[in-house]
Amino acid sequence: MNKGLTIYRLVVAEIKQSKLNTSFCFLTVVVATSLLTALGAVTESSVDATRRMMKDMGFNLLITAKGVDPARYQALDFEGGDMPEEYVGRLTASTVMAQHFVGKYQKAIAVKDRMVVLTGVVSEKTRVNTEKKPMPTAYVIPEGKVYVGSAAAKALNLEPKSEVEILGKRFEVAKVLPEAGMIPEDIRIFAPLHEVQALLGKEGKVNAIDALACQCPASIKDIIAAIVKSIHAVLPEVEVHPYQSILLARHQQRVLISRVALAALGIVMTVAAAAIWGLTYQNVRNRRREIGVLRALGVPGTRIAALFFGKILLYATLGAVAGCALGNPLGTLLNVSEVTLEVPPKLLFTIIVCTPLAAVLFALPPIVGGLMQEPAEVLGDREL
């Protein structure tokens, strides 16, 4: 008799006998996994949207030579803070907590009796093994040309394709930049770094490095200290000046998104666990007499447990696949950013693999409790 009681036949028979219970369990898994998939996709989209927004706001770190007084920079006095240009290369070859770097040499000079900040820049460098789009404020300027800030262009009466003489060399105005609304950005004249170095006799030197920290883990409490420490590990002889309002705003928003996602995850998992536990308890209780008969016939407890676990693994796996399929359109409805929603493949894999294991774990107590009862006690219960 026992030979005919295969696990497959037992699972199929159990599903047929408890269609309503199995359907509710399946729907519980579908709803939970679709919410988790949508939550993961929306969280990823929100973090990406925040990263892009903060990136558009510009660099959030200024790296200078040690001992440079920030107050002098505010007064447009950039003297006495030269660094080797190769510092930029050392940063890009490292694992510092920043991804975008632009070396520059800047000096306040007079052009036609007007104060401007001559700024030599090179094309943006990104940290090794990262694929990042250039910053909006990272300029690639052709030789012999300049980009002119809005206030400087107005004061010097410059427009695109006009010419301006700077320290005895003529440059063509390639672009007049939009108004930034702050000094010294609006009075800058940007030119290729190596041409500015030659004009000032500062070959191979920079006196500032703009940087952007944009992938800082939300788990770090003192983000500024962590960034400064990572840069000093590579360049101990520099000063790091964070633009705290920009840097902290982004990090705090990322922390907030992370906390909201964790709270939502906890709620979904708790409700799903309670539902599966309750439905499994009901299913086991309704099968007390069948369990007692099988135990009396000599069927091992492990085989009876396999009956329940087999059903759980089946509906949990199918429910996880269905939930992941529904999660993307659900996430699109919940998405509040303009970033295209994409569910990370790693998240889908994790949900599909972990959901059956979690369902078995949630259902374990009532199943074990049902199997621990003595067959004689169960069969002798006249209420059943």
What is the C-alpha separation between 270 and 155, in angstroms, rounded?
A: 65
Tell me, what's the pLDDT at 384? 42
pLDDT of residue 148: 95
Q: What is the pLDDT of residue 189?
A: 94
User: What is the value of pTM for the model shown?
Assistant: 0.61
DSSP structural state of residue 187: G
Residue-by-residue DSSP string for 56-95: HT---EEEEETT--HHHHHTT--TT--EETTHHHHHHTS-
Before 184, cis peptide (omega within 30)?
yes
pLDDT score, position 309: 87
pLDDT at 120: 94
| pLDDT computed for residue 74 by the predictor | 76
The per-residue pLDDT for 219 is: 58
* Distance in angstroms (rounded) separating the CA atoms of residues 343 and 35: 12
Secondary structure of residue 74 in the 3-state scheme: helix
Q: Which helix (H) or strand (E) holds 295?
A: helix 288-296
Residue 1 is predicted with a pLDDT of 42
From CA 162, how far away is CA 151, in angstroms rounded?
16
pLDDT at site 258: 76
Task: Return per-residue pLDDT of the chain as tens, 384 residues.
Answer: 444 456 677 677 777 878 898 899 999 999 999 999 888 888 777 766 666 666 656 678 889 998 888 778 777 888 878 999 999 999 989 888 888 899 999 999 999 989 999 999 988 888 876 666 666 566 889 999 999 999 999 999 999 999 999 999 999 999 999 988 877 889 999 999 999 999 999 999 999 998 887 666 555 667 788 888 999 999 999 988 887 666 666 667 677 777 788 888 889 889 999 999 999 888 888 777 777 777 777 777 777 788 788 888 989 999 999 999 998 888 777 776 666 677 788 888 999 999 999 999 999 888 888 777 666 565 565 544
